Amino acid sequence: MKRSIAVLAMSAVLLSSYTSIPRQVSAAAQSVQSVLKGHIENGVNLRDKPSLSGNVVGFLKKGTDVTILERSSDYFYKVKSQDGATGYVSASEKYISVGQAATTPNGGGQGTAGVVVYGVNLRDQPSTSGKILGMLSKGTNVTVLERSNDYFYKVVTEKGKTGYVSTSDKYLEISGKVAGPSPAPAPAPKPELPSSLQAKVDLVIKAGKKYLGTPYEYGSDRNTTTTFDCSDFVRQAYRDALGIVLPADSRKQGTWIRDNGTAVYDTGSLKAGDLVFFMEYRGSKASSYQNIDPNNQRITHVSIYLGNGQMLHTYSSSSGGVRIDKLDGSWKYRFLYGGSVLK
């Protein structure tokens, strides 16, 4: 009798151990399945915080695969690269594609599941006047992040696109209650700019140097810092440092400097922080630029003068993006004029 009881007890222990194994494997599998993968469609900066003001800590090349840890905001994903680096990248579809919806940090990554029951527009703001980002077809699964107002939900699609759709049950069927929008955080106090001209120049140069190595792209997007052309770069440095928004292209920037009354026409008169303007490249020898009237030449390039015969700029993909060069050789031959943004 005692032997039978012992056998039964041992069998129960073995059975409970055996039946727990599938549950453990299932949980592990579920964890693996929930990992969100991203694919870099175009080279993009990896930053230390979800903001264009974040420091660039790396660069992810086109074709790189990453793990998406969260959607930190409408504009940034937090990702982990294959070599283990963690940071933030633009959420724009131009730079990254994802396989399913990324969770948002609000609510600890929680949202309410929803399914589109009738084709509905996805808009960029919670209003019928919002720009249409696309059409969500019947059967599309979304995560409802919040009820932005009486008429619109904020949702994120399986592909990671965030926008707003109608709250009418004609268009969307949801599985539970949806919270209202989180209260807007109090705006951060605006930093007080230094009063001295030298301190302002130092801020501009520091702001520009943080983009060293950022790739060159002709006609780069003025709303991102993932790539720059020459005028976009100097514009961003002044915008980051002092909140000054310069014209968007080098010729208009040159006109702005002249109109500002600070233009100088010899390199010896340049000061740190000055914008420096150049004509088109005609060759590496001084003879290539003889008998050319600078006043009749079109501006084709701009840089920031650092002092001591050096300048900070970007001018081609092959040059390596934002870099520091000496203002000599063909650069000196191509010089038209320069001048200070500040007075």
Using 70 as the pLDDT threshold, list the residues of the chain that sit under it: 1-35, 99-111, 176-195
pLDDT of residue 177: 67
User: Which among 26, 10, 17, 89 has a CA at the least distance from the CA of 54?
Assistant: 89
pLDDT of residue 14: 37
pTM: 0.48
Residue identified by tokens 């007075």 is 343
User: Which among 335, 256, 339 has a CA at the least distance from the CA of 299?
Assistant: 335
Residue identified by tokens 């959420």 is 91
Residue pLDDT, tens place only, 24-44: 333 322 332 345 788 888 888
pLDDT of residue 300: 97
pLDDT of residue 295: 86
36-98 shares its CATH topology with 112-174 = yes
Domain boundaries of the chain, sorted by first residue: 36-98, 112-174, 197-339
pLDDT of residue 182: 53
pLDDT of residue 181: 59
pLDDT of residue 199: 92
Q: 36-98: which CATH architecture?
A: Roll (2.30)
Superfamily holding 112-174: SH3 Domains (2.30.30.40)
Q: What's the order of all strands across the beta sheet hosting 86-90?
A: 56-60, 44-47, 86-90, 76-81, 65-71, 36-40, 96-98
Tell me, which fold does domain 197-339 have in CATH?
endopeptidase fold (from Nostoc punctiforme) (3.90.1720)
pLDDT of residue 40: 86
Both structure tokens of 219? 């006609």
